[in-house]
Amino acid sequence: MANGAVTQTQHIPYLAQKGLKSWILTTDHKRIGILYLITISFFFMIAGLTALGMRYELMTPELDFFRTATEYNVAFTIHGSLMVFFFIVPGIAASFGNFLIPLMIGARDVAFPRINLLSFWIYLVGTAILLFALAQPADTGWTFYTPYSIQTGTKVIMITLGVFVLGFSSILTGMNFIVTIHKLRAPGMTWSRLPLFIWASYATAILQLLATPVVGITLLLLIAERAFDIGFFDPAKGGDPILFQNFFWFYSHPAVYIMVIPAFGIISEIIPVFARKPIFGYKAIAYSSFAIAIISFFVWLHHMFVSGISETAAAIFSFLTMLVAIPTAVKVFNWTATLYKGSIDFHSSMLYALSFIVLFTVGGLTGVYLGALAVDVHLHDTYFIVAHMHYVMIGGTVMGFFGALHFWYQKWFGKVFNELVAKAAWFLIFVGFNVTFFPQFFMGYQGMPRRYATYPEEYISYHALSTYGSWILGLGILIMTVNLLIPLWKKGRPESSNPYGSLSLEWQVPSPPPHENFDEIPTVTDWTYAYGKK
């Protein structure tokens, strides 16, 4: 594989063309990636501010920030559904997936560039419906559990319709990536040489393709029940409320992996570059993404251990849940072992990658508590779940996302951010995140239920600490955002197209890359991770 910096001089970057039309009608995967990045970041900000409002409310046991409990309930519904459906599910997969997949495999674009643009437009229609829905938001929580979601007086149909429409975007993107990875790999880019981000994207795409239709149908049934009074889920009309939960989690558990597997891919890219070491246990990491993806279809009942399911079903699903923990643990060991005898540079993206390992380990280990049946009975629907979920989603996915932003920033935007400020922001985010969520494990074990607008006096010190943490976390994210936005208005390009000495193909083209990435499709002759002295 060609290594060494390409001259940064004579080429027309893909960003050269200006004007609205050049964006909304673009079929360039890098531009579509940017469009996704802007949209998901927008929703991340709204949902994040909502969370700060919720944390502010919870500083004291009584209702003080919001006027009514319903307002608080609406806030957590907005926070959850925006974060899950509009930020984290499409998040890394659609933004970095679009930008990186063709570059990494040595292709000029995805297999179906126009369908790719269509996916984005469908996503935008979904977000438009959602923004409309936010004028009169629902109070069901992001899980839309029946029969509450059927009986509540708030508006449920619009928000679920928005999520339903989004599903099509997800399915089309997944399909597009699968075909791209199969058909457009450069000569010599064999499956065993593929970057692990590609393996992760492939596993994610399969999940998107197979699981998303189920949530689509479920939400459609819910809409039909609310609009036309057809009794699917409400027992008063002869329906079954547990059926909804089965449908919902059949999608939403695999969806957890749609959210986190791309982050696994990112970590597997960042660590070898900054440790100058081959990734340790390449095959184990690649295959474990698939193992996780497949097993994740058969663990959904672990969200329902106290819903009255049979003992046998509970036992089978607890067992399968434990199985998921094994490939996850193996990955953590592999990433850590990659550092051994390396030459480690603590670039801001590496700091995010290393904190990913630590925080995701906490998220994974606390998942074991929840997989153990008798313990789950006590912890279910408490703040322990809230903490566990955020350690996986922020400690895992968002750390991966931030790491990716810092790592590929130069490549994607052709600008350079202030590294010192980036490190300071990382520090605030790392500390703030832990102060916010670590106390919630203890609060949960003591019995504090989730989704409580007011709460018994005894939990006040934990809640207060958690709120202070959210301010540090918020400040960190603000500084990071400003630090990444400022360079976009500055002139000039990075000095080197490959400043970190990566062997991956996307670093062998100029920053930012030209319109169709490669003048000549490269021929790959070695492994992506052939760092170090053989």
Partner 1 sequence: MSTWIPESASNLAASVDNITLFVTIVSVFFFVLISAVLVGFSIKYRRKSEDQETAYITHNQVIETIWTIIPTILLMVIFAWGWIAFKELRNPPAEAIEVNVVAKQWLWEFEYFTGKKSLNELFVQQNKPVRLIMRSDDVIHSFFVPQFRVKQDILPGSYQQLWFTPTKVGTFDLLCAEYCGSGHSQMLAKVNVLSPEAFARWEKGDEFEDGAALPKISVSPAERGKDLYSQRGCLACHSLDGKEVIGPTFKNLYGKTEELADGSSVLVDENYLRESIYEPQAKMVKGYPPTMPSFKGILSEDEVTALVEYIKTLK
Structure tokens at 158: 């619009």
CB of 107 to partner 1, least distance (A): 26
Identity of the residue, 73 or 127, whose beta carbon is nearer to partner 1 in the bound complex: 73
Identity of the residue, 22 or 525, whose beta carbon is nearer to partner 1 in the bound complex: 525
Q: Which residues contact 425 (CB under 8 A, 6 or more apart)?
A: 476, 477, 479, 480, 483
Identity of the residue, 128 or 229, whose beta carbon is nearer to partner 1 in the bound complex: 229
Q: Which residues contact 83 (CB under 8 A, 6 or more apart)?
A: 43, 44, 47, 142, 393
CB of 322 to partner 1, least distance (A): 4
Q: Which residues contact 66 (CB under 8 A, 6 or more apart)?
A: 53, 57, 72, 75, 453
Helix, strand or coil for residue 13? strand
Q: Tokens 């197209």 sit at which residue? A: 497
CB of 27 to partner 1, least distance (A): 38
CB 2 within 8 A of CB 506: no
Count Cβ atoms below 10 Å from residue 485 Cβ, excluding itself. 10
CB of 201 to partner 1, least distance (A): 22
> What is the Cα–Cα distance from 357 to 336, expressed in whole angstroms?
8
CB of 92 to partner 1, least distance (A): 23
CB of 242 to partner 1, least distance (A): 7
CB of 162 to partner 1, least distance (A): 21
Identity of the residue, 45 or 368, whose beta carbon is nearer to partner 1 in the bound complex: 368
- AA letter at 254: P
Helix, strand or coil for residue 456? coil
Identity of the residue, 103 or 266, whose beta carbon is nearer to partner 1 in the bound complex: 266
Identity of the residue, 367 or 510, whose beta carbon is nearer to partner 1 in the bound complex: 367
User: What number of residues does the chain have?
Assistant: 534
Identity of the residue, 209 or 375, whose beta carbon is nearer to partner 1 in the bound complex: 375
> What is the Cα–Cα distance from 51 to 77, expressed in whole angstroms?
10
Helix, strand or coil for residue 7? coil
Identity of the residue, 179 or 243, whose beta carbon is nearer to partner 1 in the bound complex: 243
CB of 376 to partner 1, least distance (A): 8
Count Cβ atoms below 10 Å from residue 167 Cβ, excluding itself. 24
Identity of the residue, 140 or 208, whose beta carbon is nearer to partner 1 in the bound complex: 140
CB of 333 to partner 1, least distance (A): 5
> What is the Cα–Cα distance from 151 to 144, expressed in whole angstroms?
11
Count Cβ atoms below 10 Å from residue 68 Cβ, excluding itself. 10
Q: DSSP letters along 56-86, please? A: HHTTSSS--SSSSHHHHHHHHHHHHHIIIII
> What is the Cα–Cα distance from 268 to 280, expressed in whole angstroms?
9
Q: Tokens 């009255």 sit at which residue? A: 308
CB of 446 to partner 1, least distance (A): 5
DSSP state of 447: T
Identity of the residue, 155 or 451, whose beta carbon is nearer to partner 1 in the bound complex: 451
Count Cβ atoms below 10 Å from residue 502 Cβ, excluding itself. 22
> What is the Cα–Cα distance from 119 to 127, expressed in whole angstroms?
12
> What is the Cα–Cα distance from 485 to 425, expressed in whole angstroms?
14
Identity of the residue, 52 or 330, whose beta carbon is nearer to partner 1 in the bound complex: 330
Identity of the residue, 96 or 248, whose beta carbon is nearer to partner 1 in the bound complex: 248
CB of 528 to partner 1, least distance (A): 12
CB of 55 to partner 1, least distance (A): 16
Q: State the burial class of residue 125 (Cβ atoms within 10 Å of its Cβ: 0-12, 13-18, 19+).
A: middle
CB of 70 to partner 1, least distance (A): 5
Q: Tokens 């540079």 sit at which residue? A: 345
> What is the Cα–Cα distance from 119 to 113, expressed in whole angstroms?
10
Identity of the residue, 157 or 243, whose beta carbon is nearer to partner 1 in the bound complex: 243
Closest by Cα among 404, 277, 269, 268 to 348:
404
